[in-house]
Structure 1
Amino acid sequence: MRGFGQLEAEIMDRLWSWARPATVREIVDDLNLVRPVAYTTVNTVADILFRKGFLCRTKEGRAWVYAPVRSREAYTAEVMREVLGEAPDARAALALFVGGMDPQQAAALREVLDGPGAGGAR
């Protein structure tokens, strides 16, 4: 599940930041403000993201309207769990990860660990 390809990431980033469903045409028009990309290419990649389970879609007229299946935060948490699960020494990997946090990230982690539901909530 881990990483997205470049265009996959750009599509997901737009859909997450817009926080609303969008057509391929909307995505293409926005991407073309930064770099040229063909409608058919974006349509193919959106379909791939749908088949991989990252996007859901509904038909509006003749166009598909796409939306993320999960939030950016939920996706990030899933990737973090997956990577940590692959570490031969999860405790050491977690210690290195936490040790590399900036003060704001460490404070946010403390709040999460000390907050309601702490102690095993997933």
Structure 2
Amino acid sequence: MRCLGELEAAVMQVLWEEPEPVKVRDVLERLDTGRSLAYTTVLTVLDNLHRKGWVQREMESRAYRYRPTRSREEAAARMLGQVLDASGAPEVVLGHFAASLSAEHARILRTALRERDG
């Protein structure tokens, strides 16, 4: 799973906010990018997201309905993992990350690590 471009991220935000799969037209109507977009532009973005594994699609009549393959939180966790993998020095990155955490976020991280370790 690769990181998202600006428009891809905006499309994913729309999909994560919708409880049911949506058509291209629905995504286009809900997008708030500050610029006018063509239907075909949103269709292309959704096709790219499908190819990258970010969304699933199902045919309904003659149009696809799209939905995310993972939650916003799962996607964020995977992207963090990719950043660590790409850094070449995950221990350094994690050290900087840990130092930057608020007390509350550090508590949440400690709890998650304890739960993981059983």
Q: Number of aligned residue pairs: give it.
A: 118
For 1:30, the equivalent position in structure 2 comes to 30
5+ residue gaps, structure 1, are none
| Between structures 1 and 2, the one with greater helix share | 2
Q: Percent identity?
A: 38
Structure number with higher relative contact order (C-alpha < 8 Å, ≥ 6 residues apart): 2
More moved, 42-51 vs 103-112: 103-112
Q: Is 2:95 the partner of 1:95?
A: yes
Moved over 4 A (4+): none
Q: CA 1:51 to 1:33, structure 2 compared with 1: closer, same or farther past 3 Å?
A: closer
Write the distance in 2 (CA, Å) between the matches of 1:49 and 1:27: 13
For 2:109, the equivalent position in structure 1 comes to 109
SS at 2:78's partner residue?
A: helix
Normalising by structure 2, we get a TM-score of: 0.88
For 2:10, the equivalent position in structure 1 comes to 10
Aligned-CA RMSD value: 1.9
**Residue 93 of structure 2 aligns to which amino acid in structure 1?**
A
Write the distance in 2 (CA, Å) between the matches of 1:17 and 1:32: 13
**Residue 108 of structure 1 aligns to which amino acid in structure 2?**
I
1:89 CA drift (Å): 2.3
Write the distance in 1 (CA, Å) between the matches of 2:87 and 2:38: 39
Q: CA 1:8 to 1:105, structure 2 compared with 1: closer, same or farther past 3 Å?
A: same
Q: CA 1:32 to 1:98, structure 2 compared with 1: closer, same or farther past 3 Å?
A: closer
Q: CA 1:102 to 1:32, structure 2 compared with 1: closer, same or farther past 3 Å?
A: closer
Q: CA 1:2 to 1:33, structure 2 compared with 1: closer, same or farther past 3 Å?
A: closer
SS at 2:88's partner residue?
A: coil
For 1:44, the equivalent position in structure 2 comes to 44
Normalising by structure 1, we get a TM-score of: 0.86
